[in-house]
Structure 1
Amino acid sequence: MRTERIAAVLLAAGTSSRFGKEDKLMADLRGKPVVQHVLETVASMAFGELIAVTRPLGQAPVIHRKLERRGYTILVNEQPEEGISSSIVRAVEHVMPIRRIRGILICLADMPEVPQTHYNRLCMAAIDIRSVVASTDGFSSSPPAFIGRKHFGELLTLRGDQGARALLSHGVQIETHGNLLRDIDTPEDLMAWQPATDGPD
């Protein structure tokens, strides 16, 4: 499916509870915040809509500014503790009236290493509004993932932190290297992505 018929939905409302006091999306990764890696990659593609679900402005002012500069429509999740499903529901409610949009591509703001080529492969594998296309490391299904408009009603019923995993498990699976699908939950995860530094001689 052409990206012009797809709304990219960037989920960036997580509470970073496992990361400690710091906001993991604002943590430095190779010279820029974690979230910036993802939002720039997604914004560089010709999606019909760019949507981001994030925390209120007072909790994430820098993220809001970066999203606005790249042309995202910002949806605020006032209750991120309800889990990823609450963000998906907000995005679907926003997209449903936009009839030219045939599906959404769910992208996670804490997955900084997913390349544009993989997002493209997911979109190309989507045939029509019935399509569900998930990423996989060969073992489990995960975002990034395309979900066609036919399934929007089902997405509106999601609850909790499992997101759309059950739906994704029955879709087309696009395999890529497992490292590219790792998300950042802890400081140790972040360190694993940092470039190696030379030790003392």
Structure 2
Amino acid sequence: MIRAEDTALVLLAAGRSRRFGAADKLAQPFLHQPLGLHVVTALEAIPFRGRYAVVDGTRVDFAARGLTMVRNDDPDLGLSRSVMLGVTAAKGCGCAAVLIALADMPRVTAAHVWRLLDYAEGPDAIVASSNGDHPTPPVLFGAAHFDMLLTLEGQAGARDLVRAGHHMVTSPDELVDIDTPEQLAALRKKYGVG
């Protein structure tokens, strides 16, 4: 087990969201708060050593919810740039692991993240979420992988590392990732919020 107190949360909230269109995807309302704050709310009681949000142009105020804002001035360089910026910031708090989560995954639960932490063992740990078909964030990386995470390039990010790690299966509904207006509309309909 890796303790939450020894882990930093790195929330990836930067990216062009081209499939969503011109609107600020993370600021779109869902269940009485911006889409991008749902994972923050779900994980707020977990006593992480540090909390970092890698952002570009979103209007969502992650700092008001206790996260240190890390600016990604060039999200066109891909997901790996956001990972690198977040891990660099997290290393500064002396953490033994980072939990990388996505701000556009509004149904992630604290219970699932606790399971990831419970399963992780030591600095070599890689524990990813899975819908039973393929791995996905949230993903926990032990400190032995920090240097590798800092060298990644492009949109694929840490995909190969994640595939090689342990996969913790949870409900596919918990791992829904909102990329398009249609996906957000379907999620709102599912929960009866239009």
TM-score (norm 2): 0.93
Letter in 2 for 1:143: P
1:95 Cα deviation after fit: 2.3
Counterparts of 2:151 and 2:108, CA distance in 1: 28
Letter in 2 for 1:146: L
Counterparts of 1:4 and 1:195, CA distance in 2: 37
Q: Given the alignment of the two structures, is residue 85 of structure 1 paired with residue 96 of structure 2, yes or no?
A: no
Larger Rg: 1
Q: 1:128 aligns with which of 122, 136, 140?
A: 122
Q: Is the 8 A contact 1:134 1:172 kept in 2?
A: yes
3-state SS, counterpart of residue 47 of structure 1: coil
TM-score (norm 1): 0.90
| 135 and 128 in structure 1: CA distance in 2 versus 1, 3 angstrom threshold | same
Q: 2:141 aligns with which of 143, 147, 150?
A: 147
Letter in 2 for 1:92: V
| 198 and 33 in structure 1: CA distance in 2 versus 1, 3 angstrom threshold | closer
Letter in 1 for 2:97: G
Q: Is the 8 A contact 2:43 2:109 kept in 1?
A: no
Write out the 4+ residue segments of structure 1 that deviate beyond 4 Å after TM superposition: 196-199
3-state SS, counterpart of residue 167 of structure 2: strand
Q: 2:167 aligns with which of 173, 176, 200?
A: 173
**Partner residue in 2 for 1:4:** 5
Cα deviation digits, residues 4-61 of structure 1 (max 9, x gap) = 0000000000211110111111111122110111122222211010111001xxx33x
3-state SS, counterpart of residue 92 of structure 1: helix
Structural mapping, 1:1-201, within 5 Å = 1-55=2-56, 59-60=57-58, 62-63=59-60, 65=61, 67-99=62-94, 101-196=95-190, 197=192
Unaligned runs of 5+ in 1: none
- Most deviating of 40-49 and 130-139: 40-49
Aligned-pair identity (%): 38
Q: Is the 8 A contact 2:10 2:90 kept in 1?
A: no
| 198 and 68 in structure 1: CA distance in 2 versus 1, 3 angstrom threshold | closer
Q: Is the 8 A contact 2:9 2:98 kept in 1?
A: yes
Letter in 2 for 1:182: V
Counterparts of 1:110 and 1:81, CA distance in 2: 17
1:98 Cα deviation after fit: 3.3
1:119 Cα deviation after fit: 1.0
Letter in 1 for 2:21: G
Q: Is the 8 A contact 1:37 1:112 kept in 2?
A: yes
